[in-house]
Structure 1
């Protein structure tokens, strides 16, 4: 079971501080998880400028230019945010039994561990 999923609130725990132009300490929502590369794309974090080639659509409008997009960041550099304390925390899994339509099933559920101090 994955620790970080699409839609989770995460915080960047490594890299340069904001005073030096970095993203450490920023929180954002996970837009996409790239499982093969062990990377995540976080909203508002790790912006890069991307140059796209100028082209034309069917209607004749020009496309392309310089745009800023979020680049992937390694999954080890982010931590899940505990919803109650709003601090980064570690993730645990516990096994629960669910009864659905009279059938018992065992499922693993993610939960945020205690976040004693900032990571």
Structure 2
């Protein structure tokens, strides 16, 4: 069986830098980079690309909840923001 090759691309931004979204649903917004996922070449940006996730209870005495989570964006959709 062939192994699936994983390319780790060099990302052009660092954690803590301000970036501007240049394409997609959140186009034009500005935020700080919180996390970099090198295997997928994606970034998690503070306050951008927020999705709703429904979490089921794991035990009978717990309650389910609805969480708002920041999902990753591909690094090609962002540019460094300079004021």
Q: Distance in 1 between matches of 2:14 and 2:38?
A: 10
Where does structure 2 lack aligned partners over 5 or more consecutive residues? 1-9
Secondary structure of the residue aligned to 1:40 is: strand
Query: Considering only CA atoms, is the larger Rg found in Structure 1 or Structure 2?
Result: 1
- Give the length in aligned residue pairs: 73
Q: Does the aligned pair in 1 maintain the 2:11–2:75 contact within 8 Å?
A: no
Please state if 1:45 is matched with 2:48. yes
Higher relative contact order (CA 8 A, sep 6+): 2
Match of 2:19 among 3, 6, 10: 10
Using the size of structure 2 for normalisation, the TM-score is: 0.77
Q: Distance in 2 between matches of 1:75 and 1:2?
A: 7
CA RMSD of aligned residues (A): 1.7
Runs of 4+ in 1 over 6 A off after TM superposition: none
